[in-house]
Amino acid sequence: MDDNILQIILKYGKDIIASEEFGRTFEQTHHIDTTVGDHTLSVAAEAVKLCLDRGYTDETTLKNVVTSALCHDLGIMGRKEKYANHAVCYVRHPLDSVDAYMNVTGEKDERVIDSIKNHMFPVKPVMPKYKEGWILTLADKISSVREKTGTQAVDEQVRKRILERLK
């Protein structure tokens, strides 16, 4: 991961990454071959890259995108106990992630909420309303493909580098 991208993630997402709730995400596997935490950090990296490529470099957009990316799957924690099957998980986890976002940050930004809520588009056929949501939706898919092909932005080594920077 470019250091520039890492700096942007830490600038807006340091408190979320350092939270107890986020810390637990490294214990749950995701898409079989990664953890929720590594997937989430990878999505944040892809999302920031998409923003930079498009010139979305204003503070508000970057903060919303980093926050949305870091919180988009927090609600999926404990999926086996919470959801009866994959279909329920697809529908419910974005809503649970919105709750987790509000709990972890104490914020209720309408653009962040909409982005998290609709990140499963088109599986869940409600489109994101804002560009932050489109960036998140795309970054989530790009990252999933990269995870499946072993080329994800964040692996164990990069994760350690990120966590080291929190100190």
User: Residue numbers of the site for Fe ion (CB under 5 A)?
Assistant: 73, 140
Contacts 24+ apart (CB under 8 A), 162-167: 162/6, 162/9, 162/10, 162/17, 162/41, 163/17, 165/6, 165/10, 166/10, 166/14, 166/17, 166/18
Say if CB 93 and CB 104 are below 8 A apart. no
Side chain identity at residue 111, one-letter code: R
Shortest distance, CB of residue 36 to Fe ion, whole angstroms?
8
- Choice between 35 and 61, CB closer to Fe ion: 35
Side chain identity at residue 134, one-letter code: W
Beta bridge partners of 91: none
- Choice between 23 and 57, CB closer to Fe ion: 23
- Choice between 91 and 166, CB closer to Fe ion: 91
- Choice between 32 and 59, CB closer to Fe ion: 32
DSSP H helices, 19-155, are 20-23, 36-54, 59-71, 79-82, 86-105, 110-117, 131-148
Shortest distance, CB of residue 167 to Fe ion, whole angstroms?
27
Residue (of 7, 20, 19) closest to 66 by Cα position: 7
Helix (H, G, I), strand (E, B) or coil at 29: strand
Shortest distance, CB of residue 28 to Fe ion, whole angstroms?
12
